[in-house]
């Protein structure tokens, strides 16, 4: 049985963690990117489908290509961040299920049913995007998720060779600069958006 995390761990993951618009001038290594994946991959996805496909834009060329296809305010953040990850999804993720979910024929649940596969890919790659954010925070990094970009153009620029892969959202990554953020927006108490049935 697990114990609850310490208050400081809960602060780092949730209560004091923020979405950053800018980052300190401190590099993020490829080893850290791999460490994020090696945590986030354990987050649950349906049938262990793991549909997320991630391009970690580290080079100036990759950042410039992505920034040119993003809303101007977001483009600036991409160019200045140490890394921006494109969280994409493989709509044909089911081809990997014989390996990833070996104890039953889960491929047959999705093959030939493109709408079901697309819904499943979107749901689970979005979950994986959440795991990405929390894994980064757990490792002492910060993120800036963004959906303000041209998905079709990003898909053409980054996934032309794999037309079954589509972008979901993007996220900057680095050591957050406190000067780059506004005050925290409201987070209502339980009774506002919940009920116990």
Q: Which residues form the interface with ligand FMN (CB under 6 A)?
A: 18-19, 74, 145-148, 169, 181, 184-185
What is the distance between the alpha carbons of residues 9 and 7, in angstroms, rounded to a whole number?
A: 5
Edge to edge, the sheet with strand 142-146 lists 52-57, 83-90, 165-174, 142-146
- Judged by beta carbon, residue 110 or residue 171, the one nearer ligand FMN is 171
Residue with the closest Cβ to ligand FMN?
Answer: 148
Of 163, 165, 167, the closest CA to residue 126 belongs to 167
What is the distance between the alpha carbons of residues 18 and 72, in angstroms, rounded to a whole number?
A: 21
- Integer-rounded Cα Rg, in Å, for the chain is 18
Q: Tell the smallest beta-carbon distance from residue 80 to ligand FMN (Å).
A: 13
Contact indicator for 158, 86 with CB cutoff of 8 Å:
yes
Q: Tell the smallest beta-carbon distance from residue 32 to ligand FMN (Å).
A: 20
Give the length of the chain.
197
- Judged by beta carbon, residue 106 or residue 134, the one nearer ligand FMN is 134
What is the distance between the alpha carbons of residues 182 and 186, in angstroms, rounded to a whole number?
A: 12
Q: Tell the smallest beta-carbon distance from residue 146 to ligand FMN (Å).
A: 4
- Judged by beta carbon, residue 34 or residue 184, the one nearer ligand FMN is 184
**How many Å from the N-terminal Cα to the C-terminal Cα in the chain?**
27
- Judged by beta carbon, residue 8 or residue 147, the one nearer ligand FMN is 147
Q: Tell the smallest beta-carbon distance from residue 181 to ligand FMN (Å).
A: 6
- Judged by beta carbon, residue 100 or residue 139, the one nearer ligand FMN is 139
């Amino acid at each position: 049985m697990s114990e609850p995390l310490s208050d400081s761990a809960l602060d780092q993951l949730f209560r004091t963690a923020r979405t950053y618009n800018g980052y300190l001038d401190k590099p993020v290594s490829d080893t850290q990117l791999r460490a994020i994946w090696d945590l986030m991959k354990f987050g649950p996805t349906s049938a262990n489908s793991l549909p997320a496909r991630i391009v970690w834009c580290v080079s100036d060329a990759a950042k410039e290509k992505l920034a040119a296809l993003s809303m101007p305010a977001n483009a600036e953040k991409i160019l200045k961040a140490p890394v921006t990850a494109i969280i994409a999804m493989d709509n044909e993720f089911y081809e990997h299920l014989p390996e990833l979910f070996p104890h039953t024929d889960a491929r047959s649940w999705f093959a030939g049913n493109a709408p079901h596969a697309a819904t499943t890919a979107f749901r689970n790659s979005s979950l994986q995007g959440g795991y990405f954010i929390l894994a980064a925070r757990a490792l002492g990094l910060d993120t800036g998720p963004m959906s303000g970009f041209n998905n079709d153009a990003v898909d053409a620029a980054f996934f032309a060779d794999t037309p079954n892969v589509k972008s979901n959202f993007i996220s900057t990554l680095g050591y957050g600069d406190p000067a780059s953020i506004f005050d925290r927006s409201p987070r209502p108490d339980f009774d506002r958006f919940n009920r116990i049935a």
